[in-house]
Structure 1
Amino acid sequence: MANNSTWENITGNGTEPELEPDMKFNEGHVIAIVTYSILMVISAIGNSTVLVLIRRRKGNTRSRINTMLMHLAIADLLVTFIMMPTEIGWAATVTWNAGDAMCRIMAFFRMFGLYLSSFVLVCISVDRYYAVLKPLHLMDVDRRGKVMLTIAWAGSTICSLPQMVVFHVDNHPVFTWYEQCITYNTFPSYTHELTYSLFGMITMYALPLIVIIFSYASIIIEIYKRSRESFTGKSLHA
């Protein structure tokens, strides 16, 4: 993501202004390219393998949890084949050369895959929660699973749409040939920009993490209670 500081005033004391370090191809860009390339290969192999193995199973034997894992693999592959190549190409060219429309579209998909991955993980944890703690509520379990996945996809779309509004292509005020896909001058104040960033962090990471921790902590506690009851029952009949 382009740093808004790139657009701050560049002045020279009566001399020709020079490009800032982050406006030129440097070691940081090399590291980004290598890192994203390695992660892309690993993610592509791993998630494609999972997706193929799940798809090979017959429809009538595919479990609900496998369906959710399939959606999780799809979400990760969206990140792998959309976000990562974008970051690699962006780091290689330094400037944004794909135009304003593609800037907004890619800004949407850069967040969509991440949101979807987090929300599907929430679906899996909630599904396991009901399976262990509320087994009597399994009558409409397949319908509930479909509803949760639908909400995950819809929620990811809604949360990612603002990206198409806040991101745009802008030219550098001094080096007019230099274009970047940024959020500069979109927000009326720094407070608004910070609020938007916090919303993304809370929605994508904090809330899903809380739900996942609560779900699996409850499962562990329930399993522990059942194991103690089972052990106590065996001791009484010994």
Structure 2
Amino acid sequence: MPLDAVWNVTVQWYGGDALCKLLCFLKLFAMHASAFILVVISLDRQHAILHPLDALSAQCRNRRMLLLAWSLSLLLASPQLFIFRAIRVEAADFTQCVTHGSFHHRWQETVYNMFHFTTLYVFPLLVMSCCYSRILLHIHLQHLRDKAGASYLRRSGTDIIPKARMKTLKMTVVIVLSFVVCWTPYYLLGIWYWFQPDMLHVTPEYVHHAVFVFGNLNTCCDPVIYGFYTPSFRADLANCCRRMRRDASLWSPDRLSARQGPRSGEHESDPATNNQVAGD
């Protein structure tokens, strides 16, 4: 994103052909990795709730799924290394990193973009929706069994606390919603462009950049969501806020004026005001 931000400022491409290919590859790779990791999380949550007795095999299974997610991200982003290049227009003394000449027909570029739209947005969204639908159905059926008095996996050590399940489910649903909210505007704008390229003359350039940056914020939101659903993080954050409020009250103008200097014959010992009386 720093390289892309610099590119937005300079407009012209100054990084050369190799960096052009690398940046475009990394952009698509990061987008695929982010989407596929959410798919892995969804599959893991589904298996943990629907098959809680398989917890011992989760580490090996998740390692394989993560390896597959990263490998697919590398594979699907690799065409960027071949279709992007730095092209210089001698007449205008202008260089840009583009796909010009990589597609012989307009429909080929549209198919390429639609394919990545499917792998980046449609496929992850379908898998996540399917996983959480099955989880919701499972929880609903379990609630009905419990309500009817049926014993459902009540043996010690074999059941996951329903409250913890619901908490995890809420967290993952929020993660999916953030994925949808962040990326939907970008892909809607992309579909409009793929089928009506003239839309570039209708919408300002800064709108395209803002929508793309907003989509990438999804990756930044996920750790924050995990944190707020973790009790230790919330407790540490609350302690930090209380400490900041306490420090702010100690350094407030009223209290500082009251402690500006020690009385005659007295020596100030409060560490919060040592800086104030250092020159006395």
Query: TM tier, shorter chain?
Result: 0.5 to 0.7
Is structure 2 residue 149 aligned with structure 1 residue 227?
no
Displacement of 1:92 in angstroms is 1.1
Please state how far the C-alpha of 1:134 moved relative to its aligned partner.
2.2
Select 2:36's aligned residue among 115, 119, 137.
Answer: 119
Give the superposition deviation at 1:139.
Answer: 4.1
Alignment of 1:45-194 (within 5 A): 84-172=1-89, 174-175=91-92, 177-194=93-110
Deviations 1:78-129 (A, max 9, x none): xxxxxx2122101111100000000001111011111101000000000011
Q: Provide Cα deviations, 1:111-162, integer angstroms capped at 9, x if missing partner.
A: 1111101000000000011111123443422110000000011111001100
Aligned residue in 1 for 2:131: 215
Structure 1 unmatched runs, 5+: 1-83
- How far apart are residue 173 of structure 1 and its match? 6.2
Q: State how far apart, in whole Å, the 2-side matches of 1:174 and 1:221 are.
A: 64
- Give secondary structure in 2 for the equivalent of 1:213: helix
AA matched with 1:179: T
* Structure of higher RCO (CA pairs closer than 8 Å, 6+ residues apart): 1
The one-letter code of the counterpart of 1:182 is V
CA distance in 2, matches of 1:104, 1:149: 25
Distance 1:194 1:170 in 2: 21
TM-score by length of 2: 0.52
Deviations 1:185-223 (A, max 9, x none): 111111111111011110111101100000011101110
Q: Structure 2: how far apart are the matches of 1:173 and 1:221? A: 62
Aligned-residue identity in percent? 33
Alignment deviations for residues 23-70 of structure 1 (CA, whole Å, 9 cap, x no partner): xxxxxxxxxxxxxxxxxxxxxxxxxxxxxxxxxxxxxxxxxxxxxxxx
For residue 2 of structure 2, what is the amino acid of its counterpart?
P
Structure 2 runs not aligned, ≥5 long = 151-280
What is the aligned partner in structure 1 of residue 271 from structure 2? none
Runs (4+) off by over 3 Å: 136-139
CA distance in 2, matches of 1:136, 1:198: 40
Q: How far 1:172 sits from its partner (Å)?
A: 2.7
Equivalent AA in structure 1 for residue 51 of structure 2:
K
CA distance in 2, matches of 1:139, 1:88: 44
Aligned CA RMSD, in angstroms, stands at 1.3
CA distance in 2, matches of 1:202, 1:137: 31
